[in-house]
Each structure stands twice: as structure tokens, then as C-alpha cells.
Amino acid sequence: MGVLEAVVNKNTGKVKNNRSSDKVMEIVMYVFAVMFLVVLIYPLYFIIIASFSDPSAVANGQVWMFPKGFTLDGYQELLRHENIWIGYRNTILYTAVGTAIGLIVNISAAYALSRKDLVGRKFLSLFFIFTMFFSGGLIPTFLTVRDFHLYDTFLVMVLPFSVIVYDIIVARTFFQSSIPGDLWEAAQIDGCGNLRYFVQVVLPLSKAIIAVLGLWIAVGYWNSYFNALIYLKNPNLYPLQLILRNILITNQMQSGMGTGEAAQIALRLANLMRYSVIIVATVPILCLYPFVQKYFNQGVMIGAVKE
């Protein structure tokens, strides 16, 4: 019976199936997908409209679909907070330098490990992979960093933890599957050394993996606060996330406020600023993302391939 119901569409050559159970499944699926999208998007949308709304309207639950009592006070308040801009500057620096270091260190190691004629390849891979499952832990790592006089320096934010084994594995798999071995043979005959071959032949062919890892590493730096929390003392070195933590979570803005009407206004502004600070902190990284999005599936797919 089923065979009769399977209809081959003559125009496209595609096999189509017109069972009613399939229709039901389709409808259920799309209803579910739309509900899922609403749950995902609405909180983000709410933050955006709330950041432009009168804070008391937000607090009274009057803001649902559109901003109410449009205002830019939250953003103006933000401009007055100097440490946010210091944090911004630091985060941009950490992200730029950290991503550059991370790409150089991980991509070159991954390429070397991808070469079948590398003597000691198995051992070297294990050398890295072991650190994924076993580590010294917080205190021994902290003591090591301190012994190297990296505590409370710019360098501690971009150098010590730039080796990311997972990224090395993904990139290694990429090189193995998409850089043909014959290319190296040919280059070798022409008298090209490994380093020149890597820079002039391999890297130009590897834009996809560079984009994927670059994004992963950059997002990691942009969003990290743990290392700053542990290894930084000087507020002038604080990255944005640490300052956000003070504003959003530990609520350190309200210090030094009196009582009375002025304090009320200050408190309302502080609440409003929490919405705008979320927007200002998140938008840059979201702007980066459409440009590299097409590489996501590719990157993950590469990483999923087993050796």
C-alpha cells in the first residue's frame, strides 16, 4: 500500500510522500519550532526595548512589545562610567592580541601534528590530549603563574592559556582531510622547506579553519572573566566582563548614595543602565558573527570527523 502512496514528482525527480501522518508531523514540528524561536528571541528583544524605556514602566510590567516612554538616559548614564570604557579598551586589546597568539600557536602546532612523516607524532598528540583530562588545578596553576611574575600583568591575559587542545585537534583534522599530501611532495622537489611551505601554501588554503578558530578564540577572550578574576588586581587592567560583573551582579554602583529623591532617581538610572550595558557589551561580538557564520557547520563537521 505504501508504495502506491509514494509519488515521484516528475518535474524535480524528487520522491515525495503524501501520507497524512507526515502532514501532521510537519505541522507539529513547525508549531514547535516557532514556539522555540519565541522563547529564544523574546528575552533578548525585551532587553532591547527595556533599555529604551522609562524604567518605572518596565518595573510595572507595561513594556511588552514596544518601548514605553522612550528615553536614552540609560545609554547616557553609561557614557559617564569611565571604567566601562577602560574595560572596553582592555577587552579589545586582550581579544586582538590573544586571538593572534592563539591562532599562531594552535594552527602551527596542528599543522605539524597533521603530517604523517612527523617523527614522534603519536607521543606529541598524547602530550597535548592528556592535558584535556588532567590538570594541576587552580592553586598549583596560580602558583606557577605567580612564580613566573605574570600575576597582574597584561601578558597573563593573553599568553599562558593560549594552547587550546580541542582547537588543535579540529585544525589537525582539517589539515589531514583537505591539504593533499602530494602538494608537499611537489614543493619539496622544488626545494621548498617546511616553514616556507606552511606560510605560502598551507595557510592560504586554510582560510576556513582560520576563520572558525579565530572566531572561537575571539569569543572566548571577549567573554572570559575567570582569568581576570584570579590573576588581576589592578583595576586599570580589568576587562569589560569583570566590570560588567560589578555592575550587573554585585551591584556596586549604588555605593555612596544617600536617601531621598535624588537617590531614587539614581537607583532608577542604575537599573536602566543594566539593560543598556548588556546591549553595549554583547552587540560587538554579535556583529562579528554573520561574517563567519557560514563556516560554523563546516568547522564543527571537520572537528567531528574521527581520525
The reply on whether position 94 binds other proteins by CB under 8 A is no
Interface with other proteins: number of residues (CB under 8 A): 99
Residue 53 Cβ vs other proteins, minimum distance, rounded to whole Å: 12
Q: Report the nearest approach of other proteins to the CB of residue 24 (Å).
A: 9
Binding mask 236-265 for other proteins (x = CB under 8 A): -----x--xx-xxx----------------
What is d(CA 114, CA 163) in angstroms, rounded to the nearest whole number? 16
Name the residue nearer to other proteins (CB basis): 24 or 257: 24
Contact between 297 and other proteins (CB under 8 A)? yes
Q: Do residues 88 and 236 touch, judged by C-beta distance below 8 A? A: no
- 221 near other proteins, rule: CB under 8 A: no
Q: Is residue 41 within the footprint of other proteins (CB under 8 A)?
A: yes
d(CA 29, CA 80): 48
> Under a CB-based contact definition with an 8 Å cutoff, are residues 202 and 111 in contact?
yes
Question: Looking only at residues 48 through 87 of this chain, which bind other proteins when binding is defined by CB under 8 A?
Answer: 58-61
222: contact with other proteins by CB under 8 A: yes
Residues 122-151 that bind other proteins (CB under 8 A): 124, 127-128, 131, 133-145, 148
Report residue 253 as a C-alpha cell: 554602583
Among 223, 267, 269, 270, binds other proteins (CB under 8 A): 223
- 85: its cell numbers: 570604557
Task: Tell me the C-alpha distance between 252 and 243, whole Å.
Answer: 10
What is d(CA 232, CA 240) in angstroms, rounded to the nearest whole number?
13
Q: Site residues for other proteins, window 157-186 (CB under 8 A)? A: 159-163, 168
Residue 67 or 160: the one with the smaller Cβ distance to other proteins is: 160
Between 189 and 195, CB nearer to other proteins:
195
Q: Which of 246, 260, 258, 284 is nearest to 81 (CA)?
A: 246
Contact between 204 and other proteins per CB under 8 A: no
Q: Which of 145, 174, 147 is nearest to 159 (CA)?
A: 145
In this structure, the chain runs to a length of 307
Whole-angstrom CA distances from 32 to 21, 29, 59 are 16, 5, 31
Binding-site string for other proteins from residue 262 to residue 281, where x marks contact by CB under 8 A and - marks none: ---------x--xx--x--x
Q: How far apart are CA 305 and CA 307, in angstroms?
A: 7
Among 191, 193, 204, 256, binds other proteins (CB under 8 A): 193
